[in-house]
């Protein structure tokens, strides 16, 4: 999208539309799912989306006007943490590259939380170097037949649909032989296996695809141009991970600051100095996130989201490490190391030991910190690219 429609509603009109919607659908007496579906149909889901697809072609910044009116009325939300992959990664890609039929089919149940989404990108041999992926998709009439393995797939055990990239032309260089699909996770050829983490839980999964048939109508973008489509997903993913809106002293730094205030016997001058440094870093990151979200009003996220996600990982790990150190022997305690399949990652509702262990994954998920450093260096700072000897070599000829 290039910007709001010339006749898009302003703040006052959106406020009036929202109040009229609430009068017609009182939150206290309207079924939650019915309320969310109706909100989508009214264009109040994400106001910057096109009319008929949950929006009103309005400026993105005006979503806050709608959200404030709905929150004041006690309206239900769509449990955004549970469906974060759908909202933050799948939806922008569907909007940018999906056919009209695809947009109409998927966006409404996605936004209303009726269908959970996951992301089938990383593979055992293609994580940091995602473009080296080897999952194959072969054309068979009006379908593609997919075989391969994906890994580190959050929410695959809950998902109804997945965004998937697969190799469709092994004779092309690795970035140019990839195609992007929507995959049905209920297909009998899809097998989901849990991956147990250092926390004891299995929020991630490995996914095996055997003869999975995907209709060509569920292809996003042109065949062989999937890397271009995937970049939209990846940029939105990094913004959704590292650029979430939080209040001052929210998130991990809030837990550390609360422990500091509540436990004066744990304090030392050295720990105090380190806490202040991290508090300032957290506030800088929060304000940078606000600026990034303002930039999003003008269009798609850029490589700046990689810098935000990079900072988020480093900050979380430093804060959780200081929290464990501050607590001393207590910091070594761990609530329950149990094999569970959580729906959500809960950093703030758990103990310090969980936060310390789980934050180690922040520098891997959504793009490793090493890859993000390259993106920031090349696309933000304008530094020379690293030598890439495989750039123009057919994928089938690459050493694996």
pLDDT digits (tens, 9 = 90+) for 343-363: 777 777 788 999 999 999 888
Regarding predicted confidence, which is higher, 114 or 248? 114
Same domain, yes or no, for 292 and 314? yes
Distances (CA, A) of 78 to 236, 248, 251: 19, 24, 21
Q: Give the pLDDT band of residue 294 (cuts 50, 70, 90).
A: low
pLDDT for 302 equals 62
| pLDDT tens digits, 143-170 | 999 999 999 999 999 999 999 999 999 9
Using 50, 70 and 90 to split pLDDT, how confident is the model at 8?
confident
Residue 298 pLDDT > 60, yes or no? Answer: no
Above 80 in pLDDT, residue 292? no
Cβ neighbours of residue 151 under 8 Å, at least 6 residues apart? 122, 123, 124, 127, 195, 204, 206, 207
Examine the domain organization and report whether 220 and 265 are in the same domain: no
- Asked if residue 234 belongs to a domain, the reply is no
Query: Is there a contact between 206 and 153 (Cβ–Cβ < 8 Å)?
Result: yes
Structure tokens at 400: 């694996």
Query: For the chain, what is the domain count?
Result: 3
d(CA 134, CA 398): 11
Lowest mean pLDDT among 89-93, 380-384, 386-390: 386-390
pLDDT for the residue numbered 295:
64
For residue 17, which of 55, 61, 53, 52 has the smallest C-alpha distance?
55
pLDDT tens figures, 276-285:
999 999 999 8
CA–CA gap between residue 285 and residue 315 (Å, rounded): 9
Q: Which residues form the domain of 56? A: 11-72
Task: Please tell me the predicted confidence (pLDDT) of residue 153.
Answer: 94
Q: Which of 224, 252, 281 is the last residue of a domain?
A: 224
Q: Between the CA of residue 259 and those of 186, 274, 322, 349, 360, what are the distances in Å?
A: 45, 14, 11, 13, 21
**Is 254 in the same domain as 294?**
yes
The pLDDT, as a whole number, for residue 300 is: 57
What average pLDDT does the segment 235-251 reach?
71
- Mind telling me the catalytic residues? 237
Q: Are 354 and 335 in contact (CB under 8 A)?
A: yes
Is residue 6 included in any domain, yes or no?
no
CA angle 229, 373, 256 (to 5 degrees): 105
CATH of residue 253: 1.20.140.10
Contact 345/358 with Cβ under 8 angstroms?
Answer: yes
Does residue 203 surpass a pLDDT of 50?
yes
- Residue 298, domain member (yes or no): yes
CA dist., res. 136 & res. 294, Å (int): 39
pLDDT in tens, 31-47: 999 999 999 999 999 99
Closest by alpha carbon to 150, among 183, 175, 176?
183
What is the model's pLDDT at position 2? 46
Helix (H, G, I), strand (E, B) or coil at 100: helix
pTM of the predicted structure, to 2 decimals: 0.87
Q: Which two tokens stand for residue 184?
A: 């049905």
Radius of gyration of the chain from its Cα atoms, rounded to whole angstroms: 22
303/268 same-domain check: yes
Res 297 pLDDT > 90: no
* Degrees, nearest 5: CA angle 15-18-19: 85
**Percent of the residues in the chain that have a pLDDT greater than 90, as a whole number:** 67
181 within a domain of the structure (yes/no) = yes
Task: Name residues whose C-beta falls within 8 Å of residue 76's C-beta, 6 or more positions apart in sequence.
Answer: 27, 32, 35, 36
pLDDT digits (tens, 9 = 90+) for 128-137: 789 999 999 9
The CATH number of the domain where 147 resides is what? Answer: 2.40.110.10
Comparing 333 with 21, the larger pLDDT belongs to: 21
- Residue 262 confidence (pLDDT) above 90: yes
Residue at which a domain ends, from 166, 195, 224: 224
For residue 48, the model assigns a pLDDT of 93
Residue 391 near residue 291, CB atoms below 8 Å: no
Determine which of 115-124, 190-199, 294-303, 357-366 has the lowest per-residue pLDDT on average: 294-303
Strands 219-220 and 161-167: unpaired
Residue 291 has pLDDT above 80, yes or no: no
Handedness of CA 59, 64, 69, 71 (dihedral sign): positive
Q: End-to-end alpha-carbon separation of the chain, Å?
A: 39
Task: Pick the closest to residue 37 from 90, 91, 109, 94 (CA basis).
Answer: 109
């Amino acid at each position: 999208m290039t910007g709001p429609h010339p006749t898009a509603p302003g703040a006052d009109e959106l406020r009036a539309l929202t109040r009229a919607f609430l009068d017609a659908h009182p939150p206290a007496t309207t079924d939650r799912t019915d309320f969310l579906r109706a909100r989508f149909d009214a264009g109040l889901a994400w106001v910057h989306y096109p009319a008929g697809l949950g929006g009103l072609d309005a400026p993105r910044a005006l979503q806050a006007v709608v959200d404030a009116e709905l929150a004041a009325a006690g309206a239900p939300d769509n449990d955004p943490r549970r469906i974060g992959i759908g909202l933050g990664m799948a939806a922008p890609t569907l909007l940018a590259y999906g056919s009209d039929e695809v947009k109409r089919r998927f966006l409404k149940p996605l936004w209303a939380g009726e269908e959970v989404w996951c992301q089938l990108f990383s593979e055992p041999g293609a994580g940091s170097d995602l473009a080296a992926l080897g999952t194959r998709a072969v054309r068979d009439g009006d379908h593609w037949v997919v075989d391969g393995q994906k890994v580190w797939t959050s929410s695959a055990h809950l998902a109804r649909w997945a965004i998937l990239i697969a190799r469709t032309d092994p004779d092309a260089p690795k970035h140019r032989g990839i195609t992007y699909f929507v995959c049905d996770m209920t297909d009998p050829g899809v097998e989901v296996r849990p991956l147990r983490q250092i926390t004891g839980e299995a929020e991630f999964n490995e996914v095996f695809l055997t003869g999975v048939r995907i209709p060509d109508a569920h292809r996003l973008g042109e065949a062989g141009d999937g890397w271009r489509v995937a970049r939209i997903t990846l940029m939105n993913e990094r913004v959704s991970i590292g650029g979430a809106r939080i209040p001052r002293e929210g998130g991990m730094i809030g837990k550390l600051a609360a422990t500091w205030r509540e436990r004066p016997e744990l304090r030392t001058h050295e720990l105090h100095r380190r806490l202040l440094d991290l508090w300032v870093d957290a506030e800088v990151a929060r304000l940078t996130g606000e600026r990034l979200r303002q930039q999003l009003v003008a269009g798609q996220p850029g490589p700046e989201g990689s810098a935000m996600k990079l900072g988020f990982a480093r900050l979380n790990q430093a804060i959780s490490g200081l929290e464990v150190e501050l607590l001393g022997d207590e910091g070594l305690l761990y609530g329950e190391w149990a094999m569970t399949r959580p729906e959500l990652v809960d950093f703030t509702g758990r103990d310090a030991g969980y936060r310390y262990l789980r934050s180690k994954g922040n520098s891997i998920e959504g793009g490793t910190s090493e890859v993000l450093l390259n993106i920031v260096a090349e696309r933000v700072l304008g530094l020379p690219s690293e030598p890439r000897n495989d750039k123009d070599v057919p994928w089938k000829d690459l050493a694996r």
